[in-house]
Chains A and B, each alone.
Chain A
Amino acid sequence: MSVFEKLQSIMAATLEVPANAISESSAMDAIEEWDSLGHVHIMVALEQAFDLYMDVDDFAKLDSVPAILQYLESESVS
Chain B
Amino acid sequence: MKISDAQFDKLLDVQSAQEIKIFLAQRKMVPSLPQANTLRQHIGDLQNNLKKIRLGVVHTYTSELLDPWLLFSAALNELDLDIYHAPYGVTLQAAEANSGLVNHSPDVTLLLLTKEDLHPAFQRPPAGIKLADRQEIDNQFQHTVHGLVAALRDKLTGQLIVTILPSPASPGLGMYDDMAESSETLWWSQTKACLAKRFRTDFRGVGLLDFDQLVMQIGRDSFFDSRLWYSSTFPFTSEGALAVSNAVTSTAASLHLTKAKVIALDADNTLWGGVIGEDGINGIALGKEYPGRAFVDFQKRLLSLQQRGFLLVLCSKNNPDDLNEVLVDHPHQVLKNEHFAAQRVNWLPKPDNLISLAEELNLGLDSFIFVDDSDHECSAVRHSLKEVLVVQVPSRPAEIPGCLDAVARLEITALTTEDLEKTAMYSQERQRKSQLEALTEAGSSIDDYLLSLNMKMTVGLNDLSHLSRLSQLTQKTNQFNLTTRRYSEQDLAEKIGDENTFVYHFSLEDNFGDSGIVGLAIIEGDSGKRAQLDTFLMSCRVIGRQAEQAFLHTILKDLQEKGVEALSAEYIPTRKNVLVQSFLPDNGFNITVDGSGDLSLAGSPIHTDNDFPITIEGPLSQ
B228: chain A residues at CB < 8 Å are 40, 44, 56
Is B465 located at the chain interface by the 8 A CB criterion?
A: no
Contact with A along B220-235 (1 / 0, CB 8 A): 0000000110111010
Stretch in A9-17, A22-30, A70-78 touching the partner: A9-17
CB neighbors of A among B200-233 (8 A): 227-228, 230-232
B34 and A49: CB pair below 8 A? yes
A60 to B374, CA, bound (A): 52
Known: A14-B37, A59-B231. A41 touches B2 (CB 8 A): no
B37 and A13: CB pair below 8 A? yes
B238 and A48: CB pair below 8 A? yes
Is B32 located at the chain interface by the 8 A CB criterion?
A: yes
Is B168 located at the chain interface by the 8 A CB criterion?
A: no
B40 to chain A: closest residue by CB: A16
A13 to B42, CA, bound (A): 12
Contact with A along B20-36 (1 / 0, CB 8 A): 00000000000011110
CB neighbors of B among A5-55 (8 A): 9-10, 13-14, 16, 37, 40-41, 44-45, 48-49, 54-55
B68 and A41: CB pair below 8 A? yes
B34 and A9: CB pair below 8 A? yes
A59 to B64, CA, bound (A): 18
B342 shortest CB reach to chain A, Å: 46
Question: Which of A14, A37, A49, A56 has a CB less than 8 Å from the CB of B227?
Answer: A56
Interface size on A, residues (CB 8 A): 16
A56: chain B residues at CB < 8 Å are 227-228, 230-231
B570 shortest CB reach to chain A, Å: 44
A14 to chain B: closest residue by CB: B34
A19 shortest CB reach to chain B, Å: 12
Known: A40-B234, A44-B238, A48-B238. A14 touches B33 (CB 8 A): yes
A40 and B65: CB pair below 8 A? yes
B501 shortest CB reach to chain A, Å: 45
A37 to B64, CA, bound (A): 8
B369 shortest CB reach to chain A, Å: 32
Is B379 located at the chain interface by the 8 A CB criterion?
A: no
B34 to chain A: closest residue by CB: A13
B32 and A49: CB pair below 8 A? yes
A16 and B231: CB pair below 8 A? no
A37: chain B residues at CB < 8 Å are 64-65
B232 to chain A: closest residue by CB: A40
Contact with A along B306-336 (1 / 0, CB 8 A): 0000000000000000000000000000000
A58 shortest CB reach to chain B, Å: 10
A49 to B230, CA, bound (A): 23
**B-side binding surface: helix, strand, loop or mixed?**
helix
B232: chain A residues at CB < 8 Å are 40
Is B435 located at the chain interface by the 8 A CB criterion?
A: no
B34 and A10: CB pair below 8 A? yes
Question: Which of B33, B64, B234 has a CB less than 8 Å from the CB of A45?
Answer: B33
B64: chain A residues at CB < 8 Å are 37
B230: chain A residues at CB < 8 Å are 56
B227 to chain A: closest residue by CB: A56
Contact with A along B265-294 (1 / 0, CB 8 A): 000000000000000000000000000000
Is B304 located at the chain interface by the 8 A CB criterion?
A: no
B33 and A41: CB pair below 8 A? yes
Is B38 located at the chain interface by the 8 A CB criterion?
A: yes
Known: A56-B227, A56-B231, A59-B231. A48 touches B33 (CB 8 A): yes
A10: chain B residues at CB < 8 Å are 34
CB neighbors of A among B9-54 (8 A): 32-35, 37-38, 41
Most chain A Cβ neighbours within 10 Å, of B2, B33, B68, B228: B33
A16: chain B residues at CB < 8 Å are 37, 41
B227: chain A residues at CB < 8 Å are 54-56
A59 to B238, CA, bound (A): 17
A49 shortest CB reach to chain B, Å: 6
A45 to B34, CA, bound (A): 6
B390 shortest CB reach to chain A, Å: 29
A5 shortest CB reach to chain B, Å: 13
A40 to B33, CA, bound (A): 11
B32: chain A residues at CB < 8 Å are 45, 48-49
A44 and B33: CB pair below 8 A? yes
A44: chain B residues at CB < 8 Å are 33, 228, 238
A9 to chain B: closest residue by CB: B34
B41: chain A residues at CB < 8 Å are 16
A40: chain B residues at CB < 8 Å are 65, 228, 232, 234
B37: chain A residues at CB < 8 Å are 13-14, 16
B38: chain A residues at CB < 8 Å are 13
B399 shortest CB reach to chain A, Å: 24
A41: chain B residues at CB < 8 Å are 33, 65, 68
B4 shortest CB reach to chain A, Å: 12
A37 to B378, CA, bound (A): 42
A37 to B234, CA, bound (A): 11
A49: chain B residues at CB < 8 Å are 32, 34
A9: chain B residues at CB < 8 Å are 34
B2 to chain A: closest residue by CB: A48
A16 to B2, CA, bound (A): 21
* Further 13 A-B residue pairs, CB within 8 A, beyond A16-B41, A40-B232, A45-B33: A9-B34, A13-B35, A13-B38, A14-B34, A40-B234, A41-B68, A44-B33, A44-B228, A45-B34, A48-B32, A48-B33, A56-B227, A56-B231
8 closest pairs, A vs B, by CB? A13-B34, A48-B32, A56-B227, A45-B33, A56-B231, A14-B34, A10-B34, A13-B37
23 A-B residue pairs with Cβ-Cβ distance under 8 Å, sorted by A, are A13-B34, A13-B35, A13-B37, A13-B38, A14-B34, A16-B37, A16-B41, A40-B228, A40-B234, A41-B33, A41-B65, A41-B68, A44-B238, A45-B32, A48-B2, A48-B238, A49-B34, A54-B227, A55-B227, A56-B228, A56-B230, A56-B231, A59-B231
